[in-house]
Amino acid sequence: MKYVFGIDVGGTTVKIGLFSQDGTMIRKWEIFTNKEDDGKHIIEEIHKSIVDEGINLDDVLGYGFGVPGPVVNNHIIQCVNLGWKYYDLVGEFSRLVSNDNIVVQNDANVAALGESFKGAAAGKEDIVMITLGTGVGGGIISNSSPVEGAFGGGGEIGHMMVRKSNGRKCNCGSTGCLETIASATGIKKEYVEMAKELNLEAPLNKTGRVSAKAVFKAAKNGDKLSIAVIDRVSYYLAYACHVISVITNPEVIVIGGGVSKAGDFLLSRIQKEFKEYKFIAAQTTQIKLAKLGNDAGMYGAASLIING
């Protein structure tokens, strides 16, 4: 039997997935990301971990990687969180495992590939994934390939400016980016600010525990302010989906990341707002919740090898 590895390198842990040739996940495990010495030990430790698991490297067809930074034509431009700059992961890892079939791709793109491989958009060639976590990320798949962009900046949906006036400052230097509203941090800030703006009672402020999760919980329990916050977040997410749908015309937009655990409560609101945009080609785009959770990156990384 031949195997494929799908490896998702994150800032905290590396997720390693062992797959069969047809894309079935056989086993998965994690190791800590060793960021010492500009991240030069990371791939040695991945290699060691695979050998320690008792896998015969002669049976491995190839290794797919997802990394947290821009990638163009199988070259990593930069992964700030790992200390990698123009890092030759492909060449270095190839020598360690004596295998030339190494493919690397941006982590948001591999998550999108994962959902189009075995997840919410399985079998679809044109999809977009929006990941709502601490920040807002995105991956665009066109004709089964990631849209990397000229400088590896394709799919940076979080930095779409959506609020033209009174936008909050974003880490990127701009104001009013989608990330300032629809990320976990954005939802929290929206709650605090909307309480003043709408002059509504803000029960969570008193608990000292305002978080995206708490806002969703309160909204589901009928808290007026929290519902107003989620409605606004949904409005802007629907706008982003509209813009994406007229630009790359995906068959499915997949909403993932921690914030998407709010489930149908969030999804149904985004879908309702999205229907307000009448352009026909865009209306054919479906919006769905992600299915693979934290495994999406491993599936997508494996698909880089399996689907060539």
Among 159, 289, 296, 303, binds a second copy (CB under 8 A): 159
**Of residues 265 and 279, the one with the C-beta less far from a second copy:** 279
- Binding residues among 211-240 for a second copy as defined by CB under 8 A: 239
Q: Per CB under 8 A, does 122 bind a second copy?
A: no
Cα separation values, 208 from 69, 203, 211, Å: 34, 9, 9
Beta strands in the chain (DSSP E): 3-9, 13-20, 25-32, 60-67, 71-72, 75-76, 78-79, 84-85, 102-106, 127-132, 136-142, 145-146, 252-256, 286-289
Q: Per CB under 8 A, does 281 bind a second copy?
A: yes
Segment contacting a second copy by CB under 8 A, of 110-118, 173-181, 206-214, 222-230: 173-181
Q: Per CB under 8 A, does 135 bind a second copy?
A: no
**Of residues 286 and 294, the one with the C-beta less far from a second copy:** 286
Single-letter code of the amino acid located at 17 = G
Question: Left if phi > 0, otherwise alpha if psi is -120 to 50, otherwise beta: which for 144?
Answer: left
- Binding residues among 251-270 for a second copy as defined by CB under 8 A: 251
Among 76, 230, 282, 298, binds a second copy (CB under 8 A): 282
Single-letter code of the amino acid located at 207 = T
Q: Per CB under 8 A, does 70 bind a second copy?
A: yes
CB 50 within 8 A of CB 16: yes
CA atoms of 171 and 186, how far apart (whole Å):
12
Binding residues for a second copy, per CB under 8 A? 70, 124-126, 138, 140, 142-143, 145, 147-157, 159-161, 170, 172-174, 177, 239, 242-251, 277-282, 284-285
